[in-house]
Amino acid sequence: MSDDKSAVENLPESSRPLIQLADLTKIYPHGTQKVTAVIGLDLSIEPGAFAVLAGPSGSGKTTVLNLIGGLDRPTRGTVRLGGRDLGTLSARDLADFRLHRIGFIFQAYNLIPVLTAAENAEFTLMLQGTPKPERARKIAALFDQLGIAGLGDRRPGDLSGGQQQRVAIARAMAAGPAVILADEPTANLDSKTAEDLLELMRRINAEQGTTFLFSSHDPRVISHARRVISLRDGRLESDQRQNS
């Protein structure tokens, strides 16, 4: 593995994997038993990918996404993102790394009900200490790009599911992260809204080079992905590239 690591580090930065998983294993306690969610996973994701971790419920895809995002720590193995070994970071440094390098899109949107759409979208920028005029400028540009201009003053409860997910996408994109991790982002959306959002994210990926990694068993997401990484029982089942 050390030879492989040296070979990767000698590559030009643009040619290096953005995400590297080595012997990734996660075991959860479950009463008196243990549940192995992911076992021995080796995987690399290139910059600019539009990829999906696919598989049935219980396949380990959400666990892998949470480990990549630093929301959970592996039982064994390593997660490297942008060359940083997340396992070497303290809890504070890991939180700071997530804040600056990773964008998240969740199935349930995870918007704060008492904040407006614009306030939700700029929340990451606020935590980073970005001045308010710059936050406002960035969010206005993102809302325009995402087709929700004019909705910044509305609260999440006054928005449709598709509009809420667009706000969540704006929040994920606002700080220019290295990767956007999306956990079942179409699960609560009707077919037309889901299709529109997937086309939108594909366009962002193509035009801006933003890396997207989804976890999903939704055929709509899988059909849009350029790379389908299939998991079963916590192991890699197949890894296919497709023209979509």
Question: Which pLDDT band holds residue 8 (cuts at 50, 70, 90)?
Answer: very low
Percent of the chain with pLDDT over 90: 84
Q: Over the stretch 107-151, which tens digit does the pLDDT of each residue have?
A: 888 999 999 999 999 999 999 999 999 999 999 999 999 999 999
Which sequence spans correspond to the domains of the chain?
47-73+92-241
The answer to whether the beta carbons of residues 52 and 228 sit under 8 Å apart is yes
Q: What is the DSSP string of the chain?
A: -HHHHHHHHTS-GGGS-SEEEEEEEEEEEETTEEEEEEEEEEEEE-TT-EEEEE-STTSSHHHHHHHHTTSS--SEEEEEETTEEGGGS-HHHHHHHHHHHEEEE-TT----TTS-HHHHHTHHHHHTT--HHHHHHHHHHHHHHTT-TT-TTS-GGGS-HHHHHHHHHHHHHTT--SEEEEESTTTTS-HHHHHHHHHHHHHHHHHH--EEEEEE--HHHHHH-SEEEEEETTEEEEEEE---
CATH architecture of 47-73+92-241: 3-Layer(aba) Sandwich (3.40)
Other beta carbons less than 10 A from residue 92's beta carbon: 8
Residues 18-42 have a mean pLDDT of 94
Q: Over the stretch 104-118, which tens digit does the pLDDT of each residue have?
A: 998 888 999 999 999
Question: Which pLDDT band holds residue 171 (cuts at 50, 70, 90)?
Answer: very high
Task: Tell me how far apart the 2 most distant CA atoms of the chain are, in Å.
Answer: 54
Question: Which pLDDT band holds residue 90 (cuts at 50, 70, 90)?
Answer: very high
Structure tokens that stand for 192 in this block: 């037309």
What's the rounded Cα separation, in Å, for the pair 86 and 170?
Answer: 25
Average of per-residue pLDDT values in the chain: 91
Question: Which pLDDT band holds residue 15 (cuts at 50, 70, 90)?
Answer: low
Picking from 200, 102, 93, 195, the residue whose alpha carbon sits closest to that of residue 146 is: 200
